[in-house]
Structure 1
Amino acid sequence: MGIYTRGRSKAINSPRHLTLRHARRSVATSKFNAGLTETHEDPPPLLKPGEEKLNSFWAPGLEAGPAHLIKATQTIKSPNPGENDIKLVSKQTFYVDAPQFSLPEDSVYSTYPPPGYSDDHRILPHVVLSDPHLPWERRGSPKDDKKTPKDERNKVPWLILLTFTEDELKLKPDDLGTGNTFKQTVTLSVKTTVGDVQDLTTKGNVVSPISEILDVVKNDTKETDKIRKSQGEFIFMKPDLFKSVFSNFDNNNERQVPASPDTNKFKYLSHVRNINTAGMAVAGVEEVGVFSVVVGSRSGPLTNKAPATASVHLLSIEGVESMSSFPADDKLVALCSLHSWNYTVMPPGMLNVFDAFTSLGETLDVLRPPEEIIKEIAEPNDELGKRLAARLTDGYSMVKYCTQTGEHTVALFRGPFTPSVVLPNEYLNTCSNSGQNLQILDREVGIMDISYSVAWQVGRTMALGDPNFCGALSRFRTAIHQGAMKEAKIKAVQSAAGGSERFRQKADILANLSQTIKHLERMHLNHQDKHFQLKTPSQKWLGPRLGRKAYPALGFNASKIKDDYLDHAKKVAEDLALSTDGVNIYDETNDPVSEDWKVILAWVMDRMFLAGVPAHYLITDPSHLEHERLKFFYVDPNWVDAMIDGGLSLANHMGEDRDREAIKHIINNYVKHKAEHQLHTPQIPSYGFYLRSDLVTMFPDLKVETLSKAPKKADDKESGDNKVESLSEPPKEAHPKKAPLLRHNIIADGVMLALLDRHPGSDDFKGLLFTQPPHQQRFAVGHSLSDSEIGISLRRQYTVSQEIRETDKHRHDPLQKFTKTRRDRENWFIWSTEPGSQANDVRMLRLPYFAEQQIQILQNMPKQENGEKYFDDIVPNSALLAMQLDDPYYEFAVPFKDKLAGLGPAPTEFRTLNMTRHARVMRLAKHDDDLICRGDETSEPSDSESSPVDTPASSDDSPFFERNEEYSPAAHVLRHNIAPHVRQPHVDDDGSHVSRFHSAISTSGSGGGPSNVPSFNCDIYSPGKDAIHVNKKNLPDDLVFSVLVSGQEYSNEHLIEFDILVKLGPATDKHTKLMESYDGPGPRMLSNLRFNILTAIIEKNGMQYLKLRLLPRNAIGYVVANRMSNEVSFLLCLAKVNIFEKPEVLVMLETEAHYVNRPQVFKDTFTIMVKNDSL
């Protein structure tokens, strides 16, 4: 729901928005105070927590309704003397677009009483609107244009709120005329168009201000048609009630009916509230919120002995004051209802807000089954029952459980919220690969506890449902694995080679390059040192080699790699977890080195806040949270650890998941890290509460505060005298050191969840305080109301600062208390139209008398000791009246006594992850890296095996290598005057290579040798057919280009590109060309996504070709042939094939293959069949 913030939105789309916003504000404030920034990047709100500012109205710059005129004047001055200036005038008429007969979605922020709920008859319903300008978007009174300076502080809105009983709005079958079949809704309104209502007015039995609205735009046909077609809901008021609502009453309580309806008194019933939203579940997504409030002027029925239904309507009074007269007694008045709801008016003595808060205080408990259920199980002589009762007391539930082998049994289960403190389990310190090893058997009852196993599965399931997290985790694991393996292999090779000097990296070579240059000048044919004597190419390039058994094992599970891998993985992970400054770690207030780590950290922290966890895992049994209950709980760190471990278990391709251990290592570093410019480590929930009550529905923004001092017991505030001082602490600083609430949400209708990072009884957490929100407080006629009298306690108001206000010792006492009966003169409330009548047909505040009397009494308010006034104002206004009509708000304080706070010692360590040791997987067979022939460290090799030896390339210890028996090397390959690793350039005379195989490129005479290039067997056909098929329509169709690779397993060649060339042109008898042209969407790979397929139109030998290029999909630009799969087929989409005059035609296509170190291009052709199905 949108909240108006005057363009200063601080909303963060995260379940941790409270802590993230607090951390970012701390960083911005610290930088500003340290002089690192010239301006405050995130200034605190002007209103401190607990403060609000009221305005009588917020009018937009332009009103909707009447036409507005823009007049633009431009004067063009001539540079020539004697010529007159040219004056151009342009006019444009326009209308302001604003709601008129219906409201946009989310315009209504909240209503009171909530739909379907009940309250006292003295309560005046009200509606809170998200847009502070909305009540004044349109003109409520044309007289506003002529108001005096005294009236500048008030403005008549176009929206009013009225309460009706069923008999006041219920229509009889023929009330709207014979033949009209309009159906009323549950709130007794009628859904129809404006045009239909206007048609009813022409029949003579209905009047409506719509006629005046249409009269304003009568000269604009387009605007008139737009209004008539508008949909809306309308109520039909009885004429006498309409007169009472839009008339004034004199001091004798007699109705004074003017010549036409008067809307002036409704300017006192709409105002604007600018509030600090700290501690609110819904509005708390922003730091401040600006709302408009429309208060009703009519109360509910006064004489009901049983609950009665009342309908509340937010009505448009646009055009009402322009009506020429009041309707006749036989005509109904149609008014547009923009929002409506029903609530129940309760007779005296029923449950109210005070009773609801009292009931919550009397039933405080922790999150577990009620005592009655536990006592039934714990029988005195039943040891098994006592044990089960103890488990239920600890918050467990009995659930159905199906084992892996299929048996159905029962198990114990508990969610992350526990009634007592649960310390980290020292035995649950190893990561899990399935969650099964996290089950705990209760040996006393023989039932398995599956809590942590379920938590692991929940975390894994939630991670699988988040593709962004899965992708980021996979990439992050790859980065850790590649970096750690590289460092571990280097260390293993250096160890096997006898030190770092025997194995040098590029950086080492570059560092010693200056010494290498000096050694070059010592090289001479007759140098005494044999190391500097020139040698033959074979001696120069064929140096000493290690024996086969001396090669170190470099696999993931090799012992030398395994010993050092984790240290290297942690180091790589730490580097990836840094911020871009390269010094500090990423803490969500700076910029990360790795965007993947940003995603992973956010996901893990969200899980620590239990965000996204299904409700039935948090509340494992409905009996744990009964209706009208406040239940407290601790957060089980082991449950949260298991859930996070399940999520981080994804993307693991190794038996031993050491990368997960490295990821948890940097998560713990973040948890223990106090970020720069902050005063504390990251806040993580450890305590919380559930509130399930109708109060949450009635007040969605029920304010929650943490108290640093134990609250004192307050006296009964039900009297309405408002004498008791607020239990809330004085307004705190705009930015506290730590966020009081870490998570605060309405998770279901009537259910509130709050999480904190402090335990009850700690220095800064002595209690909780629940307060009605300032923008959702109730409005009431007075502290008492009946069908015979009204009791009003006039409150003190102030126009001085808070410091001066607190010097008034009587500031909490009512300024004046009085009671008025319905027969008294100069009454503040009107019961009925006739003064002597016992009817209650009006039930309305007497305005403007109420507001005028309030300001007069406040002017006589006692002064300060220095003679200055506490209140100095002479203009009655809606903001002042709203503070008087505010029903005394209730505060519900929860001091933490031994019953709630002494459930166990609170942990003081950092809330780090405990399951950090990687899980070990027992292999069924010995790994290749451990075999003797690959350098098994279990058997110590001899010196001759482990040290470099001077052996030729043909030594028995050299790796086995054998060319294909049919390989016949060319003469240039056997030249002995060049180094063995240098291939002499050799180009065939004709520049082409001819294959022995039809319709394929063959790279050798026999195919399949280490020096051979692979063979490509190509074909083209229509999908599902054996050839290309065309018909008379010859519509564009897809073509399958089948490219099969063979002989690549023996080839070490590096393929750069493979091309298929298709001749383009019309079909003729002399030249068989497959297509005339191609302008389709292009090709796409079928299954081998390691290649890209691109198209190009080229010219060759004076002819056009469609060139289809198969390119390896990697950064190095080539692919080793022996790593290629057996096919690289692709689909050419929507190709239009030529139609030939023969049933079957053979078409020849060309192919080309390009390789690294192969200057020649390997070319070939293949033939395909095109069949004409129309012949």
Structure 2
Amino acid sequence: MPHGSAPVRHTVTLADDLRPAIDPGHYTIEVSQDVTPHGPSQVSLTGACQEFVVESPQFTLDSASIYAQYPPPGATGDFSTVLPHITLNQATRPWERSITSQRDESHIPWLALLVVTDGSLVADPDTRQWITTRPVQSLKGTAPDGVVLPNLTVDDIAGVDDSCQTVDIKLAAVQDLMPLRKELRWLTHLRQVTKQGKKIAALGEGWQPGQYGVVVANRLPRTDGHYTALLVSLRGHGGYPYLQGDQPLPPRADRVRFVVLASWSFDSKARAEGTFGDVVKHLAHEAKLDPMLRLRTRPVDHPEARDRLADGYVPLVHRLHGGEDSYGWTRGPLTPVVPQNPLPPGERDAATTWTCADAALIYSEHYGLFDVSYAAAYTLGQTLALANTSLAEAVSRYRREGLRAVQQAAAAREHGLDGGSEGTRSLFDSWLAGDARMPSELSRNIQQLAKKAYAVPPSSAARARVEPVTPAPARALREMAARTAESPLAAACEAALEEVAARHRPHVAHAGLTWKDLLPAVPFSFLVPDMEMLPAESLRFFHVDPYWFDALIAGAAGQGASSATDVVLTSRLLAGAFTDEALPEGGVLIRSRLIQHWPDLVLELPSDMPAPHTFAMAPDIRLLLFPKWPQTLVLREPPHALNFGIDTSLDGKDHGAINLRWVSGEKTGEAKNEAFKPVDQCLRGISPGSGLDRPQVFNLCGTGTPLVPALTSQLKQPIAPAGLALQLMNLAYCATFKRSTT
């Protein structure tokens, strides 16, 4: 899910065309000069001649020349109100050639976008494919039986040894679908985009600065089925009757062969998944009822149940240690309210000393029920650590080195070597420097140690009177566990252990002991205990509970802890920060077809909001975590969804409508708050047997009720191709969601 800051203003200018300054072809520049000096003689200078070639694709089009296509290739959806189109990076491409060699028709585009069904195509008998690769030279000469070839000139194919893609379309379908000659210019336009301000993420078609040539189809895919959009060359077809030419068709002609410059397929299925607008409107309406992540239930009279449900808890069966079944409450880390510290004051880090899940249970004395939320998180952390061998090894390595450091520090303190290794090194440095006292001091220390080691054991009577002596490391760990490390021994051990913990925290974090590493492995049922909290087609805001993640991390770090010593070592490991990245404050869960069917869905946030952490929990579920709580967020249709078409269904009560825009003045492009309808009166009839059961081809300038004159009449001013494109342009849909203040 791409994200960006608040929208940036862009200026979009539409123009009727952008003709190249010079047509493709071979040219010769000749320069000559005669000089007539003062007097009877005349000087003639040698002239110059320069040949050059202006090239432009005619039979093939590089895929890099295509900026965007709509509907997207391979898409499935309700495209019954959409006019497919293709956007070309080379702005002059649609006007670089003409459909005939006549100069007076250079304003007619040589490209057309035809939208056909499989029933309109004729497969090649050899390849059994609709679109076939052929030598360009095969387009000139004797046509196969029943095939209409483009009437290309010798100059068109001279010296061209390349291949091209072609398609054969049934003649009846061509007569139904081909725009009239005078309609071709209305189906192309120039788009120029300039920006103001900084660029945002996920910019797409229509908003990327530059100039583009756009070719629009004249057919609405009104009937459910599979469609192929074909960008075809009309070069050489201008003389035939289907383009109002006077050149007769070959005998027995039943199909027309076109050069294909680009093609893609899509499936239109009315109301298959609903349009983006339909889905997001439902999402917004559903969120208005309550945008926070909690169960929606009937009013509850019991105060405990009412408060718990409002705070995001769900009831569950809780089996007690004695075997009795009771019920309790649980909640995940995503809460509808600001989490409160469930521990007594001053015990924010009590989770670091938990030795089992039972220590994390919260008991409600008034109702005799348990809150098992943090106990479940602790147990889950242990389970996740078991599955992560790298983490288990990193924690075990730390415990071994931590215990060794405590033992060494205790021994050093016990025998007066407070300085640890540094103190020992300084003693030897003094000895090597010639300190005469060192040999005698060292000798006395060794003698004292020997006396202790080889002393005669006391008698049984004496032993009975001797109090047991706790080893120094054990005494230090006992004080550290009780958090009363006030003695010099415990303080020295504490410092030694912290040194080891600080050194190991980055390694343990790298092995996976951070919220960001553990979260993807958390089962979704722990995040959302009841799916009724996040029904289909819903959006929910939430706060993040840091105490739940404390319990999760404590359980993961405490996996394998089998003694009080392990508990002390684990607590010191958890006492410091593993990462500089703080736990997010809140976020949003989205469960919708928007996620699955619009993967490039754009999320817009305030300009000062950092990018969210995004987790794919299921094909139709996204979890977004924000460092700071956003007051609003905007879901915007993917940028490639800029398209052309009508605004309401042809099968609705209006029989299709186009929401009109101002075409001149200061309000150019803004909505006029009026609509042109019904649109179906401007659709061209279909020939019997064509397989098109309902009219779906626009009549732009023909007989009957053509669209262009009808729009001109309602707008009360003439329009040009750019003006028609403005009326038919549908911009990306967006919806703004605001979270609750609770």
Tell me the TM-score normalised to structure 2 length: 0.62
Matches within 5 A, 1:688-699: 688-696=587-595, 699=598
CA gap of 1:659–1:266, structure 2 versus 1, over 3 A, is farther
- Of 528, 531, 539, the residue aligned with 1:630 is 539
CA distance in 1 between partners of 2:445 and 2:531 (Å): 79
Which deviations, in whole Å up to 9, do the C-alpha atoms of 1:280-310 show, x marking residues without a partner?
7xx499xx989999775335367xxxxx525
For the Cα contact (< 8 Å) 2:537–2:593, is it kept in 1? yes
- How much does 1:685 deviate? 1.9
Equivalent-residue separation in structure 2 for 1:452 and 1:822 (angstroms): 61
- In 1, the alpha carbon distance for the partners of 2:281 and 2:237 equals 47
Q: How does 1:456-475 map to 2 (within 5 A)?
A: 456-466=378-388, 469=391, 473=395
Q: CA deviation at 1:599?
A: 1.8
Asked if the contact 2:394–2:508 (Cα under 8 Å) also holds between the matched residues in 1, the reply is: yes
| Residue 599 of structure 1 pairs with residue 505 of structure 2 | no
**Higher relative contact order at CA 8 Å, sep ≥6: structure 1 or structure 2?**
2
Give the structure 2 partner of residue 365 of structure 1: 291
Give, in angstroms, the shift of residue 575 of structure 1.
Answer: 5.5
- Of 97, 117, 130 in structure 2, the residue corresponding to residue 143 of structure 1 is 97
- Listed one character per residue, the Cα deviations across residues 196-219 of structure 1 (whole Å, up to 9, x for unaligned) are 9x99x986456689x99xx97998
Q: Which residue number corresponds to residue 568 of structure 1?
A: 496
Change (3 A) 1:124 1:652: farther
- Indicate conservation of the 8 Å contact 1:157/1:267, yes or no: no
Counterpart in the other structure of 1:984: none
State the SS of the aligned residue for 2:575: helix
| Aligned counterpart, 1:395 | 312
| Distance change in 2, residues 1:191/1:240 (3 Å) | closer
Please say if 1:170 is aligned against 2:91: no
Counterpart in the other structure of 2:660:
793
Q: Which amino acid aligns with 2:97?
A: K
Residue in 1 that maps onto 2:78: 118
- Residue in structure 2 matching 1:687, options 586, 595, 600: 586
Aligned-residue offset at 1:840: 3.1
Q: 2:436, 2:402 → 1: CA distance? A: 34
- Give, in whole Å, the separation in 2 of the partners of 1:420 and 1:394: 6
Counterpart position of 1:415? 332
Structure 1 residue 606: Cα displacement: 1.0
- Which of 293, 297, 301 is the matching residue for 2:217? 297
Specify whether residues 876 and 275 from structure 1 end up closer, same or farther in structure 2 by C-alpha distance, changes over 3 A only: farther
Alignment of 1:981-1060 (within 5 A): none
Per the alignment, do residues 854 and 440 of structure 1 end up closer, same or farther by CA in structure 2, a change over 3 Å counting?
A: same
Structure 2 matches for 1:552-951, cutoff 5 A? 557=474, 559=476, 563-564=490-491, 565-574=493-502, 596=507, 599-600=510-511, 604-607=514-517, 610-650=519-559, 655-667=565-577, 682-696=581-595, 699-706=598-605, 732=607, 736=608, 738-739=609-610, 741-744=611-614, 747-759=617-629, 766-781=631-646, 791=658, 793-795=660-662, 813-814=670-671, 819=676, 831-832=684-685, 840-843=695-698, 885-887=728-730, 891-896=734-739, 900-902=740-742
Supply the distance in 2 between the matched residues of 1:697 and 1:245 (Cα, whole angstroms).
33
Q: 2:174 aligns with which of 230, 242, 245?
A: 242
Q: Is it true that 1:268 corresponds to 2:189 in the alignment?
A: yes
State the partner residue of 2:254: 330
1:309 aligns with 2:224: yes
Q: Distance in 2 between matches of 1:502 and 1:752?
A: 53
Aligned-pair CA distance for 1:508: 0.7
Summarize deviations over 1:1143-1168 as a string: whole Å, max 9, x none: xxxxxxxxxxxxxxxxxxxxxxxxxx
C-alpha RMSD of matched pairs (Å): 6.6
Residues 474 and 498 (structure 1 numbering): CA distance in 2 closer, same or farther, change over 3 Å? closer
Separation in structure 2 between the aligned mates of residue 436 and residue 314 of structure 1, nearest angstrom: 64
Deviations 1:785-841 (A, max 9, x none): 89989656334689xxxxxxxxx6x578558978588899xxxx764589xxx9835
The structure in which a higher percent of residues are helix is 2
8 Å CA contact retained: 1:452, 1:642: yes
Q: Which amino acid aligns with 1:50?
A: V
Q: Secondary structure at the match of 1:371?
A: coil
- The one-letter code sitting in structure 2 at the alignment partner of 1:548 is K
Distance 1:819 1:485, change over 3 A: same
- Offset at 1:419? 2.6
Deviation for aligned residue 1:453: 3.2
Cα distance in 2 between the residues matched to 1:813 and 1:509:
87
Tell me the matched-pair count: 637
- Provide the rounded CA distance (Å) in 2 between the counterparts of 1:290 and 1:603: 45
* SS of alignment partner, residue 455 of structure 1: helix
Structure 1 residues 494 and 361: alpha-carbon distance in aligned structure 2, compared to 1, 3 A threshold: closer
1:454 aligns with 2:454: no
Whether contact under 8 Å (1:439, 1:448) holds in the other structure is: yes
Counterpart code for 1:331: R
Q: Deviations for 1:977-1012, whole angstroms, at most 9, x for unmatched residues?
A: xxxxxxxxxxxxxxxxxxxxxxxxxxxxxxxxxxxx
Distance 1:833 1:450 in 2: 68
Q: Distance in 2 between matches of 1:444 and 1:743?
A: 40
Q: Deviations over 1:710-749 (max 9, x none)?
A: xxxxxxxxxxxxxxxxxxxxxx5xxx3x51x523466545
What residue identity is the alignment partner of 1:887?
N
Aligned partner of 2:228: which letter? Answer: H
Deviations 1:1119-1165 (A, max 9, x none): xxxxxxxxxxxxxxxxxxxxxxxxxxxxxxxxxxxxxxxxxxxxxxx
After TM superposition, list the pairs within 5 Å mapping 1:505-584 onto structure 2.
505-509=423-427, 511-512=429-430, 516-517=433-434, 519=436, 543-548=447-452, 557=474, 559=476, 563-564=490-491, 565-574=493-502
CA 1:420 to 1:136, structure 2 compared with 1: closer, same or farther past 3 Å?
same
Partner of 2:268: 343
Quickly say closer, same or farther: Cα 1:823–1:843, change in 2 above 3 A.
Answer: closer
Q: Distance in 2 between matches of 1:219 and 1:419?
A: 69
Larger radius of gyration: 1
Distance 1:452 1:241 in 2: 68
SS at match of 1:415: coil
Structure 2 contact 113–231 (Cα < 8 Å) conserved: no
Identity %, equivalent residues: 19
Task: Specify the SS of the correspondent of 1:517.
Answer: coil
**CA shift for structure 1 position 614:** 3.2
- For 2:583 and 2:199, the matched residues in 1 are separated by 19
The residue type equivalent to 1:170 in the other structure is G
Indicate conservation of the 8 Å contact 1:411/1:449, yes or no.
Answer: yes
Say which of 41, 50, 64 aligns to 2:8.
50
2:33 equivalent in structure 1? none
**1:356 aligned residue (258, 282, 299):** 282
Separation in structure 1 between the aligned mates of residue 533 and residue 419 of structure 2, nearest angstrom = 68
Contact 1:494–1:500 (CA<8 Å) still a contact in 2?
yes
Q: Which amino acid aligns with 1:451?
A: S
Structure 1 gaps, min length 5: 4-17, 19-44, 58-65, 67-95, 183-189, 229-233, 256-261, 303-307, 524-529, 533-538, 578-593, 672-681, 708-731, 760-764, 799-807, 862-873, 903-1175
1:192 Cα deviation from its structure 2 partner: 8.0
Please state if 1:321 is matched with 2:232. Answer: no
User: 1:425: Cα distance to partner?
Assistant: 2.1
Distance (whole Å) between structure 1 residues aligned to residue 623 and residue 423 of structure 2:
57
Q: 1:500 to 1:658 in 2, by over 3 A?
A: closer
Structure 2 counterpart of 1:321, which letter?
R
User: CA, structure 1 residues 320+881, in 2 after alignment: closer, same or farther (shift >3 Å)?
Assistant: same
Distance change >3 Å, CA 550–CA 886, structure 1 → 2: farther
Alpha-carbon deviation of 1:114? 9.7
Could you tell me which residue of structure 1 aligns to residue 413 of structure 2?
A: 495
User: In 2 relative to 1, CA 277–322 (structure 1 residues): closer, same or farther, beyond 3 Å?
Assistant: farther
Q: TM-score, normalised by structure 1?
A: 0.42
Identify the residue that residue 38 of structure 2 maps to in structure 1.
Answer: none
